[in-house]
Amino acid sequence: MTIAMTLNDDLTITEASPLSSLDLPPEEENPLPDPDEMLSLLSSEIILERMQAARAFCELEDQRAIPRLIELLQDECPLVRVSAAYALGRNKSEEAIAPLIAQLNQDWNGYVRKGIVWALGTCQATLGLQPLISALKYDITAVRLWAASALGQLGDIQAIKPLTEALTQDPMSAVRGNCAWSLGKLIVQKHRDFDTQDEIYHDAVDALVNALDDDDLSVQTDAGDALRKLGTPRGLKVLDRVEMDQGFCEL
């Protein structure tokens, strides 16, 4: 699964932490902010204070913040909106799902849409399935990348077909790699729900097998990991052949 890269969309893609630029080295980490103070600052008239407070709830879990964080999804400042989205991913609530989806469908800022996609995946929001599929198909690269991994987190087998299509068609290797990761997760997780003759199942396995020949090594690795987890005879046979061709077999 892709960890970090910078794309021409001028968005930095990072899976390790949604606001990694805010992280401090372990030895310099500060104590958690005071939740009561941050709750008050969520309603500040000063943009920087609203942003600081919303970011604080990316670390803090406090149900009292949810109504105001939902309101901040429509803040005039995109940095406040994206911070609110990440905070709602941390402070999960069914009440936030519909507002997150509504903002995903209308926000012009790629950073914000990326944060919303992350939040929907983290919340494992069933209602997020179709919006995430749409994001995977049509959004900018950074958002497609997170949509691919969010669909894997959702755990819905309806995501398998669009993930298979993106694995075979998306022009960005980072997106294809996350599609392979999510396909492996979903197929293994939902294996008992499949008829092994199911066309969608076979198409997904075919796409993973074909991805072993992808131009990008990370995509090959993600596809190989997915096939190993799945453990189908065909997939394992192809993996053995690939490893032999690459000189990995024991003599």
112: CATH: 1.25.10.10
Q: What's the domain count of the chain?
A: 2
Answer yes or no: do 149 and 205 share one domain: no
User: What H or E segment, with its residue span, contains residue 150?
Assistant: helix 141-154
Provide the residue type at 118 as one letter.
Answer: W
pLDDT for 39: 97
Query: Computed over its alpha carbons, how large is the radius of gyration of the chain?
Result: 20
Q: What are the residues whose beta carbons fall under 8 Å from the beta carbon of 79, sequence distance 6 or more?
A: 47, 51, 111
Cα-Cα end-to-end distance for the chain: 31
202: CATH: 1.25.10
Answer yes or no: do 147 and 52 share one domain: yes
Answer yes or no: do 130 and 54 share one domain: yes
Residues pairing with 5 in the sheet: 13
Query: End of a domain among 154, 180, 209?
Result: 154
Residue 161, domain member (yes or no):
no
Query: End of a domain among 154, 189, 211?
Result: 154
Answer yes or no: do 193 and 148 share one domain: no
Residue 23, domain member (yes or no):
no
Instruction: Provide the domain limits for residue 57.
Output: 1-16+33-154
pLDDT for 197: 55
pLDDT for 47: 97
pLDDT for 231: 78
Q: What are the residues whose beta carbons fall under 8 Å from the beta carbon of 66, sequence distance 6 or more?
A: 88, 91, 93, 95, 96
Residue 26, domain member (yes or no):
no
pLDDT for 232: 75
Answer yes or no: do 89 and 202 share one domain: no
Residue 220, domain member (yes or no):
yes
Q: For residues 15 and 251, what is the distance between their CA atoms, to the nearest angstrom?
A: 38
pLDDT tens digit at each of 251 positions of the chain: 644 433 344 454 444 444 444 444 444 567 889 999 999 999 999 999 999 999 999 999 999 999 999 999 999 999 999 999 999 999 999 999 999 999 999 999 999 999 999 999 999 989 999 999 999 999 999 999 999 999 999 989 899 999 999 999 999 999 999 999 999 999 887 665 665 557 888 899 999 999 999 999 999 999 998 888 887 777 777 777 776 766 554 44
pLDDT for 238: 79
Answer yes or no: do 104 and 201 share one domain: no
Query: End of a domain among 102, 125, 154?
Result: 154
